[in-house]
A = this chain, B = another copy of it.
Amino acid sequence: MTIPTVRAAVMDGPGAMRLQDFPEPTVPADAALIDVSLCGICGTDKHIYKDEVKSHPLGVPTKFPIIPGHEIVGTIERIGAKAAARMSLTGGTLRAGDRVVPVVDLRCEECVGCKTHPGWPSCERGETYGWGISCRDAPHLFGGFAEKMYVLPQTKLAKVPDSVPDQAAVFAEVLAVGYTSVARMLHSLQLSGDGSSYVGDVVVQGSGPLALAHVIAAKIAGAHRVVVVGMPEYRTKFMGQFGVDLSLDATKLTREERTERVLHGLESGGADVVFECTGDPSVVEEGLSYLKPFGYYLVAGIYSDSGKTTTLNVQKYVSGRYATIVGNGGQTELSYAKALGMMESFAHTIPFEEVVTHRFPLDRHREAMETAISEQSMKVAFEP
Contact = CB atoms under 8 A, between A and B. Distances in A.
Interface of A: 56-59, 85-86, 88-92, 109-113, 115-120, 122, 179-180, 182-184, 186-198, 220-225, 269, 281, 284, 293-294, 299-300, 302-316, 318-335, 338, 341-342, 344-345, 349
A329 B197 CA distance: 17
Contacts of A303: 315, 319-320
What is the count of identical protomers in the complex?
Answer: 4
A314 B302 contact: yes
Nearest to A299: B319
Contact of A222 (B58, B115, B222, B324): B222
A191 B332 CA distance: 10
B192 A193 contact: yes
A175 to B, nearest CB: 12
A305 B88 CA distance: 32
A142 B294 CA distance: 28
Contact of A118 (B119, B183, B223, B225): B119
Contacts of A180: 195
A187 B198 CA distance: 10
A155 to B, nearest CB: 13
Contacts of A112: 90-92, 269
Contact of A334 (B194, B222, B281): B194
A329 B334 contact: no
B334 A305 contact: no
Given A186-B197, A305-B320, 6 more contacts: A117-B294, A191-B191, A194-B332, A195-B338, A224-B344, A284-B314
A167 to B, nearest CB: 21
Contacts of A328: 319, 322
Interface centre among A85, A120, A314, A345 (most CB of B within 10 A): A314
